[in-house]
Structure 1
Amino acid sequence: MHAFVFIHLTFWVGTMGRVRAAMEMEVPPPWLSSLAVLLATALFLAAVLRRRGSRNKHYNLPPGPRPRPVIGNLNLIGPLPHRSIRELSARYGPLMSLRFGSFPVVVGSSVDAAEFFLKTHDLAFLDRPRMACGKHTVYNYSGMLWSHYGAYWRQLRKLWLTELLSARQLRRTELVRAEEVRAMLRDIRAGAGAAVAVKEHLLMATLNVVSRMVLGRKYVGEQGAGAAAAVATPEEFRWMIEEIFFLNGALHIGDLVPWLGWFDPNGYVARMKRLGKMFDRFVEHVLREHEDRRRREGPAFVPTDMVDQLLELAGDPCLDVPIDRDGVKASILELITGGTDSSSVTVEWAMSELLRKPEVLAKVTEELDRVVGRGRLVGEGDIPSLPYLDAVVKETMRLHPVAPLLIPRVSREDTAVAGYDIPRGTRVLVNVWAIGRDPAVWGDAAEEFRPERFVGGEEAADVKGQDLRLLPFGSGRRMCPAHGLGLRMVQLVLANLVHGFAWRLPDGVPPEKLSMEEKFGISVSRRDQLKALPEPKLPGHLY
């Protein structure tokens, strides 16, 4: 958003400078008349927007800053929107009106506001805005993330929850997760003695887990990948994952001011189209492999992964709404990307907090030694017996939710809350980052990393959408359907990183000096990757 505002203002300032220079010339250049038309059109449309706003004055909107023509309140949004919005909410209240370009926005930054949008009136706020990323990277909104509420979305959600990501399916794939976590520990041990970029290992481990669960095998970093290597190299695929997360968080001008949709100063749309073609080549390759196996095995065919399940479900004539090939490909893409980056980001934040708090790291280590011992790795069955580790995960998700503003929603009908009106078509944001740091909810130490707050009286605090103080996966019908898998991955990976190695910061960096600066996208990660020195502490045969 900050980049958009900067470029927008630079564009107009530069334009006006060229106009002044042209007026000093005896003969105006040929582009001046076209520019005059463009400026006149912009002023006309701004006037139309103002008149439209005046017609809506009968709505009693929540308080908020006065919007400027064309850009609305984008001038108030910095490079970390969740922080800028919390500062504005401190002035205008936990229910606040903004305007992003041409679109009205309402932001909720309190538990009560989250309850209204995500639970009490969840059905009224189930649509998604039509944004360029959903069009160009997710097969024209064919997946579950960006599709509007309706029969198609309800059907996809049901299939994800009851078939693809059910508790039964997660139990069946437990061995896959254990094998890839062990492979990650082995890779880290091989590089012991030097600082490692923690997220590089996390990303590869989660990518391999998701690839095996969704696609049936590893397509990246495996010698036997065969023809897949010609579709995307390991480096290209890692880049594709990071690129789609960046572009789904980047704001194209046309997403905010539709009549400027042709203007792509950052090249975001061009990048989206390029990325969409790269992913399509990869997904088509995967589908052809699976379809070939189905044909070869004939009646003896048994689904072995999520792609097999999707193809089988898409061919079911009893579906309420048919799922075409783009719908299958969009689901594959969302399963791969959604299960990869978010888990890696959360574990990296958790490791960062533990390295900043050696006393907390010591408590986690003591619990693991006591419950698991140093004769084996941590398994998923151990997690319920590790309450302090669970508290560390919850505290990390409180302070560092991967999607701090959740994915935006759109109101499907006129609604009223606390005496204010929310007109149909309003975009809705829930600032779960601000809720997680609200002193009224978490006390005076709300900004501090204290896992102890979840031990004892707060131990039952829930991260699965029921406790509205903690919403790392959202809540209600639009809650992340992969929350069960995501939570298991975070707990298992973090537990084994701490259990398998003694960690310290490189170059004598004191814990309190470790930077915790953020980088904004659809997921908010560390600005600089965490680098740390691992020292193996388990018997060598366990790695």
Structure 2
Amino acid sequence: MDHSSILLLPYFQSQVLWSSLILVTLFVITIFKAIKSQMFDKATKPKIPLPPGPKPWPIIGNIPEMLAKKPTFRWIHKLMKEMNTEIACIRLGNVHVVPVTCPIIAREFLRKQDGAFASRPTTISTYLITSGYLTTAFVPFGPQWKKMKRVISNNLLSTTKHQLLHLKRVEEANNLVFHIYNTICQKNNDVGLVNVRDVAQHYCCNVIKKLCFGTRYFGEGGQDGGPCVEEVEHLDALFTLLDNVNTFNVSDYVPFLRGLDLDGHEAKVKKAIEIVNKYHDPIIEHRIRQRSSNTYDEEDFLDTFISLKDANNNPLLTTQEIKAQIIEMMMAAVDNPSNAVEWALAEMINQPELLERATQELDNVTGKDRLVQESDIPKLNYVKACLREAFRLHPFAPFNVPHVSTKDTKVGNYLIPKGSHVLLSRRDLGRNSKIWSDEPLKFKPERHLNNNDEVVLTEPDLKFISFSTGRRGCPGVMLGTTMTVMLFARLIHCFTWSAPPHVSRINLAESSHDLLLAQPLLALAKPRLAPKLY
């Protein structure tokens, strides 16, 4: 060590000492404030009790149990079952997390007192995905959310825009059939094994890409209509974001831990966003430059975003708002339709009489001389009943996107403190035996048929959740319904489906870490229409 280093050593030591003292001081202050808050809470014990829940540890609440009993959603559902309650309160750090499994209570949150629960939590993943809360679905209640919701509802997902983009959706429905048919015929056979999850997810992604960007492929694409490396990487990144967007992350409940990325959660989200941006940004930036000096007809969502002007005839949306909102729309489009169709088909292969009834309905409505079209959807009541049953029994996510209370509120006989995270259980709302008393765990589409009324995929009474409801409900009900029904209808109208060779039944076991099928559905497909239709 040279002389200058020796002279600087006391300086570095003092810097380390001061940094350590600051950290310790901040930690002590945090603990003191938490203890003081808890003492105050006890001293001013509310007359209205909190919902029942496990006894929390001082300061950290039930975080130890959350970490020890993963996946957290299964621990929460098991806990509520053991406590025989349909609403609970679990304290994570200083946040009251309130899961709900009863439709009646859920309606009080999202209908009767919707205004008090219209906000969203601020988390590491939602901040990153929305580029600092510039979008719609994951953004806390406020002016930015109101602005973006108006844009989405009035300009992108309106009935008029839906009709204008009809041909783009038809292209992808046709390509779905073309791709599966080619996959089978490449093997010089009239029957072939198909990965239903793969084709369903890529179909959904293709539809939203075509609506946003006017393209199916980011790269060359496959001659058989299937994806190439670029499409696979892009889709995998979207599902990484979906897997991490509403996870139970310690740093989201203990603010002074933010930035440490203790479980690698933040790094996963950043990497996935980087991949998505690699494909999106060049298209968006080129289109903005191209459109800025020319008049043009709006051909897709991106054109619409660019064309919007404020009162001073300036662009209404920034480039960053456009980029972030498109990512959010991509995420919203790929998960629920593909998951519902995969589960429905798996359940119906195991009950061939259901598959036969749905196929017969399609033949009665469309015949076998043409492909089923969007105009047929109102008449496909049994097909839609099958999808409703899939949404009820097999949701993609265990909980709805969290709602945050903006004030102390009474729901039922319980206090819901300001800042609480309310989680409506998609899984247990749909399996609630008090509501679904007739074999709630059995796949029975006929339970959704009601005289001659048209069957719809929405469920405003929250007996299950397909598109949610209230002011934070999904604005894309029309698009989501169309995508889901067309995907399912094309699969069962154009092909017969059965279990793979040497397999008597499809294994319907759920994955241990989520609600998807433990293994992607592999099924034998055989064309059932004239070759010219494919």
TM-score (norm 2): 0.86
The structural deviation recorded for 1:506 is 1.2
Q: Which residue identity is paired with 1:150?
A: G
- Could you list the runs of 5+ residues in structure 2 that have no partner in the other structure? 1-15, 185-190
For 1:416 and 1:323, how far apart are their aligned partners in 2?
38
**Which sits farther off after the overlay, 118-127 or 62-71?**
62-71
CA deviation map 1:318-374 (0-9, x unaligned): 699953322121111112221123321221111121122222111111211222221
Do the aligned residues in 2 keep the contact of 1:152 with 1:321 (CA within 8 Å)?
Answer: no
For 2:412 and 2:396, how far apart are their aligned partners in 1?
29
For 2:313 and 2:134, how far apart are their aligned partners in 1?
16
Do the aligned residues in 2 keep the contact of 1:391 with 1:459 (CA within 8 Å)?
Answer: no
1:498 to 492, 508, 521: 492
Alignment of 1:517-528 (within 5 A): 517-518=510-511, 520=513, 524-528=515-519
Assess, with a 3 A threshold, how the Cα gap between structure 1 residues 414 and 250 changes in structure 2: closer, same or farther: closer
Assess, with a 3 A threshold, how the Cα gap between structure 1 residues 280 and 374 changes in structure 2: closer, same or farther: same
Assess, with a 3 A threshold, how the Cα gap between structure 1 residues 466 and 289 changes in structure 2: closer, same or farther: same
Assess, with a 3 A threshold, how the Cα gap between structure 1 residues 538 and 310 changes in structure 2: closer, same or farther: same
Partner of 1:413, secondary structure, is coil
The structural deviation recorded for 1:93 is 1.7
Q: Which residue identity is paired with 2:352?
A: P
For 2:426 and 2:508, how far apart are their aligned partners in 1?
22
Q: Which residue identity is paired with 1:356?
A: N
Assess, with a 3 A threshold, how the Cα gap between structure 1 residues 538 and 243 changes in structure 2: closer, same or farther: same
Do the aligned residues in 1 keep the contact of 2:335 with 2:396 (CA within 8 Å)?
Answer: no
Q: Which residue of 2 aligns with 1:342?
A: 336
Q: Which residue identity is paired with 2:38?
A: G
Q: Which residue identity is paired with 2:94?
A: S
Assess, with a 3 A threshold, how the Cα gap between structure 1 residues 459 and 42 changes in structure 2: closer, same or farther: farther
Do the aligned residues in 1 keep the contact of 2:233 with 2:275 (CA within 8 Å)?
Answer: no
Q: Which residue of 1 aligns with 2:41?
A: 56
Q: Which residue of 1 aligns with 2:439?
A: 445
Residues 1:89 and 2:83 aligned together = no
Assess, with a 3 A threshold, how the Cα gap between structure 1 residues 450 and 289 changes in structure 2: closer, same or farther: same
Residues 1:431 and 2:425 aligned together = yes
Assess, with a 3 A threshold, how the Cα gap between structure 1 residues 254 and 80 changes in structure 2: closer, same or farther: closer
Alignment of 1:61-210 (within 5 A): 61-77=50-66, 78-90=69-81, 91-192=83-184, 193-210=191-208
Residues 1:398 and 2:392 aligned together = yes
The structural deviation recorded for 1:316 is 2.2
Q: Which residue of 1 aligns with 2:520?
A: 529
For 1:417 and 1:403, how far apart are their aligned partners in 2?
24
Q: Which residue identity is paired with 1:507?
A: P
Assess, with a 3 A threshold, how the Cα gap between structure 1 residues 462 and 101 changes in structure 2: closer, same or farther: farther
1:304 to 299, 305, 315: 299
CA deviation map 1:3-46 (0-9, x unaligned): xxxxxxxxxxxxxxxxxxxxxxxxxxxx9xx9999899868755
Assess, with a 3 A threshold, how the Cα gap between structure 1 residues 75 and 537 changes in structure 2: closer, same or farther: farther
**Which sits farther off after the overlay, 276-285 or 457-466?**
457-466
Residues 1:247 and 2:244 aligned together = yes
Q: Which residue identity is paired with 1:105?
A: V
TM-score (norm 1): 0.85
The structural deviation recorded for 1:137 is 2.3
For 2:465 and 2:520, how far apart are their aligned partners in 1?
25
Residues 1:381 and 2:375 aligned together = yes
For 1:301 and 1:324, how far apart are their aligned partners in 2?
19
Partner of 2:410, secondary structure, is strand
Alignment of 1:229-240 (within 5 A): 233-240=230-237
Do the aligned residues in 2 keep the contact of 1:151 with 1:321 (CA within 8 Å)?
Answer: no
Q: Which residue identity is paired with 1:56?
A: D
The structural deviation recorded for 1:218 is 2.4
Residues 1:371 and 2:365 aligned together = yes
Partner of 2:181, secondary structure, is helix
The structural deviation recorded for 1:409 is 1.3
Q: Which residue identity is paired with 1:155?
A: K
Do the aligned residues in 2 keep the contact of 1:473 with 1:479 (CA within 8 Å)?
Answer: yes
Partner of 2:324, secondary structure, is helix
For 1:35 and 1:79, how far apart are their aligned partners in 2?
33
Assess, with a 3 A threshold, how the Cα gap between structure 1 residues 342 and 542 changes in structure 2: closer, same or farther: same
CA deviation map 1:295-320 (0-9, x unaligned): 45x2x32221111111122x323699
Q: Which residue identity is paired with 1:128?
A: R
1:514 to 503, 507, 514: 507
CA deviation map 1:121-143 (0-9, x unaligned): 11111111111111222211211
**Which sits farther off after the overlay, 326-335 or 485-494?**
326-335
The structural deviation recorded for 1:174 is 2.0
Q: Which residue identity is paired with 1:420?
A: Y
Assess, with a 3 A threshold, how the Cα gap between structure 1 residues 49 and 486 changes in structure 2: closer, same or farther: same
Q: Which residue identity is paired with 2:176?
A: M
Assess, with a 3 A threshold, how the Cα gap between structure 1 residues 223 and 449 changes in structure 2: closer, same or farther: closer
Assess, with a 3 A threshold, how the Cα gap between structure 1 residues 483 and 386 changes in structure 2: closer, same or farther: same
For 1:144 and 1:260, how far apart are their aligned partners in 2?
27
Partner of 2:488, secondary structure, is helix
Q: Which residue identity is paired with 1:304?
A: E
Do the aligned residues in 2 keep the contact of 1:138 with 1:330 (CA within 8 Å)?
Answer: yes
Partner of 1:105, secondary structure, is strand
Q: Which residue identity is paired with 1:213?
A: L
For 1:481 and 1:158, how far apart are their aligned partners in 2?
10
Residues 1:485 and 2:479 aligned together = yes
Assess, with a 3 A threshold, how the Cα gap between structure 1 residues 438 and 251 changes in structure 2: closer, same or farther: closer
Q: Count the aligned residue pairs.
A: 502
RMSD of the TM alignment (CA)?
3.0
For 2:416 and 2:249, how far apart are their aligned partners in 1?
25
Assess, with a 3 A threshold, how the Cα gap between structure 1 residues 320 and 468 changes in structure 2: closer, same or farther: farther
For 1:446 and 1:94, how far apart are their aligned partners in 2?
16
**Which sits farther off after the overlay, 240-249 or 469-478?**
240-249
Partner of 1:503, secondary structure, is strand
For 1:477 and 1:462, how far apart are their aligned partners in 2?
20
The structural deviation recorded for 1:526 is 2.5
Assess, with a 3 A threshold, how the Cα gap between structure 1 residues 76 and 260 changes in structure 2: closer, same or farther: same
Do the aligned residues in 2 keep the contact of 1:46 with 1:69 (CA within 8 Å)?
Answer: no
Give identity over the alignment, percent: 29
For 1:269 and 1:319, how far apart are their aligned partners in 2?
38
Partner of 1:156, secondary structure, is helix
- Could you list the runs of 5+ residues in structure 1 that have no partner in the other structure? 1-30
Q: Which residue identity is paired with 1:536?
A: P
Assess, with a 3 A threshold, how the Cα gap between structure 1 residues 426 and 362 changes in structure 2: closer, same or farther: same
